[in-house]
Amino acid sequence: MKSLMIQGTSSSAGKTTLVAALCRIFSDKGFRVAPYKSQNMSNFAYTTPDFEISRAQAIQAIGARCDITPDLNPILLKPLGNYYSIVYLNGKRYKKMHAKDYYEKFVNFEGIKIASRSLKTLQKNFDLIILEGAGSPAEINLQKFDIANMKMAQKVNASVLLITDIDKGGSFASIVGTMALIEKKYQKLVKGFIFNKFRGDIDVLKPGFQKLKNITKVPVLGTIPMIPLNLPEEDSLNAKPKDIAWTKKNISKIDNELNKLAKTVKSNIDIKSIERMLQ
C-alpha cells in the first residue's frame, strides 16, 4: 500500500480539489485509490440513513471510483459557533463539544485512535491512499493537537506535497514560512510544492522556483491555472451550505467535472515525479 498526502500553506489553498483530481488520475492509471481526511470541520455533509461524513471526501471518492464509507472521514466536526461543534465519529453523531475539551481531552486520546483505525482499514483494501491535510501544518499553537497533518503522514510514511494559493499573493513566503515552522522531524516528508490558481505567464514565476529550491531543497512540481469549477461548493467562512441530491444525474455531472479537473491538473503538474515517490 502506498500513500501520498496533500497539505496546504493555508485553508482554501486547493487541497480538496487537488486530492479529487489525483484520485481520478491514479484511478485512470489502474490503482485502487481511496481519499482520506482524518478530521474535517465542515457543515457540508454527505448523509445516508447509516452515516454522515464530509461532502468533500464523498466527492473525492467519486474521483477515486471507490465506495463512500465512514473510514474516508472518521472525524467530522460541525461548527455551531462560540467554540462549540457537534462531533461525528465513524459517521455517527457523538456529542457537542467545546474546542478546549476537544483539543485537551479527546483529540490525542480517543481521536487519534479512531483516525488510525480507519486509515489502517483503508490500507488493507486499497493500493493507494491520498490523504488530505487540514488548514496548515505550521499552526505552531496547535501542532501538539494536530492529528490531520504530519502525524498522519508519518504513520503511513506518506510523501507530502504542499499546495499554495498564489492568487492570494505571498505564496513564496508562505511556503518558506511553512517549511520553517514544521517540526524538523517532519520536514523530510515534504517532497514537492504546487502553486494553485495562477493567472498569467508561467515564465515570470520560474526564476522564483529555483530560488525556492535553493532555500528549501524541495522542487516545485507544477502550477495549476485558475480554472472555473462546477463542483459542489467547499465549506468556508462565507459559504452557505446547500443540500445536494445524490442522484445518478448529479453524480454524473460531478464525474464529468472531475474528468475535466484531472485533465487540467495532469497537464500542469509533474505526475511522473509523483509516481516515482510512490515506488
Question: Stretch 70-81: mean pLDDT, rounded?
Answer: 96
pLDDT(238) > 60? no
Average pLDDT, the chain: 94
User: How buried is residue 194: exposed, middle or buried, by Cβ count under 10 Å (0-12/13-18/19+)?
Assistant: buried
* Domain 2-277 homologous superfamily, CATH: P-loop containing nucleotide triphosphate hydrolases (3.40.50.300)
Question: Stretch 146-172: mean pLDDT, rounded?
Answer: 96
- Look at residue 244 in the predicted model and tell me its pLDDT: 82
pLDDT(233) > 90? no
- Look at residue 83 in the predicted model and tell me its pLDDT: 95
237 pLDDT band (50/70/90 cuts)?
very low
108 pLDDT band (50/70/90 cuts)?
very high
- The residues spanned by each domain of the chain are 2-277
Q: Rounded to whole angstroms, how far apart are CA atoms 129 and 123?
A: 7
pLDDT(262) > 90? yes
Residue 254: all three cell numbers together: 460531478
CA angle (134 as vertex; 88, 87 as ends), nearest 5: 15
CB count within 10 Å of CB 142 equals: 15
- Look at residue 243 in the predicted model and tell me its pLDDT: 75
Question: Stretch 136-159: mean pLDDT, rounded?
Answer: 96
Q: Rounded to whole angstroms, how far apart are CA atoms 137 and 104?
A: 18
pLDDT digits (tens, 9 = 90+) for 43-60: 999 999 999 999 999 999
pLDDT digits (tens, 9 = 90+) for 11-36: 999 999 999 999 999 999 999 999 99
Lowest mean pLDDT among 153-157, 207-211, 229-233, 250-254: 229-233
DSSP one-letter string for 85-121: EEEEETTEEEEEEEHHHIIIIIIIIIIHHHHHHHHHH
pLDDT(148) > 90? yes
Q: Rounded to whole angstroms, how far apart are CA atoms 62 and 56?
A: 10
